[in-house]
A and B are shown apart, each in its own frame.
Chain A
């Protein structure tokens, strides 16, 4: 199965071409997602500019055509960047134009999928001195989150969360070993959606995880312009 993976929920502009074999008789480790090609640029201001060229270039390097793609996997955040929408609308439009399903994946899940083995806290920069975070057990299953909070609040909960490592940018010292990565990989994104992809499941709604309301205040009483 040939899958395009995109994510723009972190400062990274991520595009990759991933392939895996679907076992007819149940799950098999031979079917793990395999990276054919990727293009990643870390630049929070370049999502809109670079994502489609990255997809095109990754496909070219993989020697595959868009028409061969079976499905698209898209990170849906949480993410504070306007750029989050660049990835999501790109995936939605490709899915429409190619008539292929688009599978939404929590970006933090994809980061956790890249670091299996021990319970891990995944954080990403939410700006405004806050982080998006989620906790995962040793098998990579999410046990808490995703939420947005000041890092000190998350640090206070570490014992409860039972995590022993942290993945994400060094925005705060959680007192845990840092294991990276700071952004999801194409293989991580596809790994999270792998079971649904293999089963041909109906994709969930392609809805961004904003976790915050828009900043907008309703106007109060009219301001007077006259000096009284």
Chain B
């Protein structure tokens, strides 16, 4: 068996995960410790890169210590290290990459610089086992909105669609602000939406016209439409039905995401879909995806919410797939790459 340590610092979560890779290829999650700086960003209404970077530096070693305690292992038991080297915030990535290099050097173990997006897909294998080939992955969070074709987690991932403007999670944050709900916007909008009518307001579905890119997303127009609708109400001195706005907005997001994902899977002949990323925890997106996947004969896999948001466990899981596949480790002079393309699973 092999013990793989995963380090994540691409945005506002400092994550350290530990995964055991058994001889038969099975993965066991031993630790998943996360220190979040989300509260420090709340009053700014979005992640402030310098604040996130400072928090990563403070949290890195304490989070590592907690992970060792949780897994009940010593650092000397670690056999390999995987670290997010992109995509993400440059200053934030630098902290995790630098720490990973130091740990790998001190422990004399191989280091894998790995792709954060591939990590989100790998998270699902911790809960549901190996992925069938091929698998379609829908990644939705504050930072990403992507459709990926995954032929091999250790090396062959192809982007087939992505957002042309805002990420889905960003739209949630901006709409939350418009209707006076707190940051981050996902959970409070989801809660308000449970009480509202999803068909109350017909918000636009971006990029769903016959000539639009069929697998790409756009949430900027939706966000603006919500703001316009709310402002018009306010101007007329009418009360804004927050629950209905939340429910109708959420319905538009869930509709577009799941419709495009199911269409992609169907057209590409893919029978398994994974949804991951922070927004995958959204109740309506999960429910609508389940309904549409079932109708289309697609198996849907959604990791539990804790594994959907950014964490070190997913990076350790990805590292375990690389180790199992015999992929060559990274060089010690690897650097963070804020714009690392998803096709580059490891550097």
Contacts and interface: CB of A to CB of B under 8 A. Distances in A.
Interface stretch (A47-55, A118-126, A135-143): A47-55
Given A89-B60, A93-B64, 19 more contacts: A48-B336, A49-B334, A50-B333, A52-B105, A53-B333, A56-B105, A82-B53, A82-B91, A85-B54, A86-B95, A89-B57, A89-B98, A91-B102, A93-B99, A97-B107, A216-B44, A219-B44, A222-B178, A226-B231
B101 interface: yes
Given A96-B64, A97-B106, A90 B98 contact: yes
Interface in A214-228: 214-219, 222, 224-226, 228
Nearest to A46: B335
A193 B54 CA distance: 24
Contacts of B335: 46, 48-49
B44 A217 contact: yes
Contact of B61 (A46, A92, A226): A92
A195 interface: no
Contact of A85 (B57, B105, B107, B227): B57
Contacts, number: 118
Interface of A: 46-53, 55-56, 66, 82-83, 85-98, 208, 210, 214-219, 222, 224-226, 228
Given A92-B60, A92-B61, A222-B178, A85 B102 contact: no
B13 to A, nearest CB: 16
A214 B54 contact: yes
B201 to A, nearest CB: 16
A48 B86 CA distance: 13
A89 B177 contact: no
B103 A85 contact: no
Contacts of A219: 44-45, 177
A93 B48 contact: no
A86 B48 CA distance: 19
A99 to B, nearest CB: 9
Contacts of A56: 105, 332
A25 to B, nearest CB: 34
A117 B310 CA distance: 53
Contacts of A52: 98, 101-102, 105, 332-333
Q: Chain A's interface: helix, strand, loop or mixed, by majority?
A: helix
B228 interface: yes
A218 B105 contact: no
Q: Classify chain B's interface size.
A: 35 or more
A215 B53 CA distance: 12
Interface of B: 43-45, 48, 50-51, 53-54, 56-57, 60-61, 64-65, 75, 90-91, 94-95, 97-99, 101-103, 105-107, 177-178, 224, 227-228, 231-232, 235, 332-336
Q: Among A210, A222, A228, which residue has the most Cβ atoms of chain B within 10 A?
A: A222
B95 A89 contact: yes
Contact of A93 (B61, B94, B227): B61
B240 to A, nearest CB: 12
7 contacts: A48-B335, A52-B333, A66-B105, A90-B102, A93-B98, A214-B50, A219-B177
Given A56-B105, A225-B224, A85 B332 contact: no
The 5 A-B pairs of least Cβ separation, nearest first, read A97-B106, A93-B102, A214-B50, A52-B101, A49-B335
